[in-house]
Structure 1
């Protein structure tokens, strides 16, 4: 009887170890945001076709937000502040493998540009994205401490979905004409390489400016710093470090 119990305990321990081994897919210090706060909406663009490249980027094997553990805890705190206001964060991108950054670089230099891709940089060529500061050969995203995100009104009708076959207006157009993203109107779409995307742009409405200011303020209260050329981009100083290249795999 005692031997049977011991055997059962050994089997149970082995099973738990096996589960833990399967779940441990991330380097130390990284977490899936969904495991920290499942209420935060995720729309990880580079895992699909709804992005400026028009296809999944290398390393995005799953549409999951992966972040440094401390970053995830702070995002949970932001979400807890927003929830009573019927608002939610929506994540567009989190940790980004360096192979995905290299994929962006190669795309920007391939000499080709489709009308669908042009929606994201209507005022200039994609070859100018580096010079103008919209794409970099090294990204803070690869450290797990940079984020692309927006706000969602939970009581609004966010049912419109992206149709890859539809001819949408460019990312600076009226919210009813550009591709839908189920979030508040920030004045441009996500990843819009244009001066209108600058956080303090003068060419947006008062309501759009209030939404941007609200996002910046709620993030700043947790120490996040906004990138002035992209209203959606935030980083946490001191939480970065080395760049990583592990793929974003499905959660177990």
Structure 2
């Protein structure tokens, strides 16, 4: 697809001020800063998605971290969750390096894009249902732009799963009823909705493979609920479903 449309969307997302509570919080965090980052100029705006416009695999999180993406301006960049996610992506062969520290660190993703259903850092990492729903049109538009190449999605955590399912439906995929429950390792096939145009020129039938994975939060990774091996397994399986090459697991 033409990357200019996705760049335009990213710019519009970064300028959004639709949710007063989130605007006030993200800007307050950017003003006061954390002592460890006192010399940083915080991004302090909504954080757009990150990755190539022809991604075959999409990773959907929850929302930017107050001192992570809200500081650096890039999804899962500059926080402990990102440390875990990008290390796994690198080991699987989907990222150029295992760390993600700042916008100009040279990181590239291979066939993968990362986004979230809420683009502003929320207080206590908990967006309200209204904030989630207000932000949904951005995800719907992103999915529509990625549609020609998108083959698989990994959703991190139950919140992202619940927020993303309506977006898939609005973007032209059929979500089973009753809605599939979230679970680590869950795999759900989403067919193209009737009357929806598929990916032109690829012969693709429009099917999207949806995978569930525990979120890479410190609560999950520190307690062992989500191990690096578990994360790599989901990413490798999803990448295979998306037709992306991966590195072989270590013996």
Structure with greater proportional helix content: 2
TM-score (norm 2): 0.29
Larger radius of gyration: 1
TM-score (norm 1): 0.29
